[in-house]
Each structure stands twice: as structure tokens, then as C-alpha cells.
């Protein structure tokens, strides 16, 4: 660790990796992020969260203010609340995704993320960040056909009772190369993006714009949606609480998110 060159960019997942339970940033982690930025190391949050869930993290994002959200589907300036770019799904492909998952995995319900917000089917249960905000509700086919989700960059598909990993495997088998299919939640919820759109692809594009090579990036993650990013970065760490597949795929490990695993590595690197 001490012999490794200082990175130019730190890319970290949020929930289960950087954040403590309840989505908070600990005092130690906040200090480590600030120290990295002060040392000239850029910090980029690379998350499955949609842009609208990023507002309270603004003080910790650093001088550039940019986060990669929705598994690479959106890049947002957190400080200004401005969507900088999106990678939308093809509307025809979106209808096919819904049809295939309904056929192969009965009981699946859908929600959609797009530049103007969020929409869902009536039986798709929402979490606390969504439940208090008005949003379109209706059958997926009606939402897609009615122009309610223009610019859609992420589909969420939820199943009432399948094992989360089984649901992911079966959804991937049903969709194949039609879309990128992954998961980041402990419940049976899969997250679907346009083909080729991952955390890694959007992070690589951002780094290229900054003149930063993959070898100069240190990445942190905990779930299957982090795997491509962890494989791309020059140095990668899995937190101790990570999914077994992530722990098996990543050579370097740090302590859990509750023990400030990301901060522990940053403190050594800086």
C-alpha cells in the first residue's frame, strides 16, 4: 500500500460501501474525502442511486461536484442539481424488456428512472425517498407508450419472492444482450440499463475527459453492479461486507462500510 503511487481519482460506490446504515457519511469518512480532494485527488461517487437521491451528499462530493448515477445511466452535477448527460434505452427495447420479464418471471413489477423523475406500476412498492413525491403510476406498457418516461435511462424490476441472485440470473438469461442487467439491493430487484452502459463505461468516459488513465484510479464497491468498475480500475477494493461474488473477484479487501473501510484505505493512500 505505502509503495503504491498516489492515485489521481477515487471512484466509490455509496450504499453498502462508503455510506453507513441509513445512508449517512461518518465523520471519519467525510474527513478522508476532504483530505483526498485537498491533496488533488478527485473523488467521484459511482452509484446505482438515481440523481434525485444525491442532494444531501453535495458537501462531500468535492470541488468538481460530479457523480455517476443509475449504474452509469446518468452523470449529474450534484452541487447544481444539473443532469449533465444520460444514456437512454431505446423505446422499442424497453417494451421488449418488460414483455420478456413478464413472460419468463411472472409477478415482476416495474419502475422507471428518466430525466424528469420516476414512474412505477401500482404494485411496485416504493422506498422512503420515493413515497413522499408525486410521480406517474400505471401499467408499464401505458407509461412507456404514453410518453410519461421520455429519456428513460434505467428500468427497475422487482419480484415478490425469488432469491435475489436467482432473480438476477434468470433476468439476465431472459434479456441476454438486449440490455445490461445487474443488481445492488439485498432484495429481489434488478436494475436494467442500455446495452454497454455500466458504472465502468461511464467512469472510463469521465476519466478520459479528465486525462486520467485507469491505472491512476482506485475503486471501491460491494455488489454485482460494481464488478465492471472494480475490474477496470488500476486498484480496487471490496469492503468486508460485500457480496460473496465481489469478495471472490477482487483481490484487495478492506474493512466494512460500518468500520469506514473506504476511509481506511484513503488515509493510507494520501
pLDDT grade, residue 132 (50/70/90)?
Answer: low
CB-based burial label for 22 (10 Å; 0-12, 13-18, 19+) = exposed
Judged by average pLDDT, the poorest of 147-151, 179-183, 231-235 is: 147-151
Q: Rounded to whole angstroms, how far apart are CA atoms 135 and 205? A: 31
pLDDT grade, residue 129 (50/70/90)?
Answer: low
- Output the nine-digit C-alpha cell for 87: 444514456
pLDDT grade, residue 127 (50/70/90)?
Answer: low
Q: Rounded to whole angstroms, how far apart are CA atoms 35 and 194? A: 36
pLDDT of residue 2: 42
Q: Rounded to whole angstroms, how far apart are CA atoms 172 and 180? A: 8
For the entire predicted model, the pTM comes to 0.93
Q: In what order do the strands lie in the sheet with 189-193?
A: 117-120, 109-114, 154-158, 189-193, 180-182
Whether 78 and 84 have beta carbons less than 8 Å apart is answered as: no
Q: How confident is the prediction for the chain on average, in pLDDT?
A: 92
Q: Which CATH architecture has domain 91-193?
A: 2-Layer Sandwich (3.30)
When pLDDT is averaged across residues 2-20 and rounded to a whole number, the result is: 86
Position 157 pLDDT exceeds 50: yes
More confident residue, 126 or 138: 138
166-186, pLDDT tens digit by residue?
999 999 999 999 999 999 999
CA 228 to chain centroid, in Å, comes to: 11
Instruction: Identify the residue whose cell numbers are 446495452.
Output: 195
pLDDT of residue 29: 95
38-62, pLDDT tens digit by residue?
999 999 999 999 998 877 777 776 6
The CATH superfamily assigned to 9-86+197-269 is: HAD superfamily/HAD-like (3.40.50.1000)
235-268, pLDDT tens digit by residue?
999 999 999 999 999 999 999 999 999 999 999 9
pLDDT grade, residue 88 (50/70/90)?
Answer: very high
pLDDT of residue 9: 96
Judged by average pLDDT, the poorest of 29-33, 75-79, 180-184, 215-219 is: 75-79
Domain boundary assignment for the chain: 9-86+197-269, 91-193
When pLDDT is averaged across residues 138-145 and rounded to a whole number, the result is: 93
Amino acid at each position: 500500500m505505502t509503495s503504491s503511487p498516489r492515485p489521481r481519482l477515487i471512484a466509490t460506490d455509496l450504499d453498502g460501501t462508503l455510506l453507513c446504515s441509513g445512508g449517512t457519511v461518518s465523520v471519519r469518512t467525510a474527513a478522508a474525502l476532504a483530505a483526498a480532494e485537498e491533496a488533488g485527488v478527485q473523488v467521484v461517487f459511482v452509484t446505482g442511486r438515481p440523481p434525485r437521491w444525491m442532494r444531501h451528499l453535495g458537501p462531500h462530493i468535492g470541488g468538481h461536484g460530479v457523480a455517476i448515477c443509475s449504474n452509469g445511466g446518468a452523470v449529474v452535477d450534484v452541487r447544481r442539481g444539473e443532469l449533465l448527460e444520460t444514456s437512454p434505452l431505446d423505446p422499442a427495447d424497453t417494451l421488449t424488456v418488460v414483455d420478456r420479464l413478464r413472460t419468463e418471471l411472472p409477478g415482476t413489477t416495474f419502475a422507471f428512472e428518466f430525466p424528469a423523475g420516476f414512474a412505477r406500476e401500482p404494485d411496485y412498492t416504493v422506498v422512503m425517498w420515493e413515497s413522499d413525491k408525486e410521480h406517474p403510476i400505471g401499467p408499464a406498457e401505458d407509461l412507456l407508450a404514453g410518453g410519461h418516461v421520455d429519456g428513460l435511462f434505467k428500468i427497475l424490476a422487482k419480484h415478490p419472492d425469488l432469491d435475489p441472485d436467482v432473480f438476477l440470473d434468470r433476468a439476465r438469461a431472459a434479456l441476454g444482450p438486449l440490455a445490461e442487467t445487474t443488481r445492488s439491493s439485498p432484495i429481489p430487484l434488478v436494475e436494467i440499463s442500455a446495452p454497454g452502459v455500466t458504472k465502468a463505461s461511464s467512469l472510463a468516459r469521465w476519466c478520459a475527459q479528465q486525462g486520467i488513465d485507469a491505472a491512476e484510479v482506485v475503486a471501491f464497491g460491494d455488489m454485482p453492479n460494481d464488478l465492471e468498475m472494480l475490474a477496470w480500475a488500476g486498484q480496487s477494493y471490496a469492503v468486508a461486507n460485500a457480496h460473496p461474488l465481489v469478495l471472490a473477484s477482487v483481490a484487495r479487501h478492506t474493512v466494512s462500510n460500518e468500520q469506514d473501510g473506504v476511509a481506511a484505505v484513503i488515509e493510507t493512500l494520501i
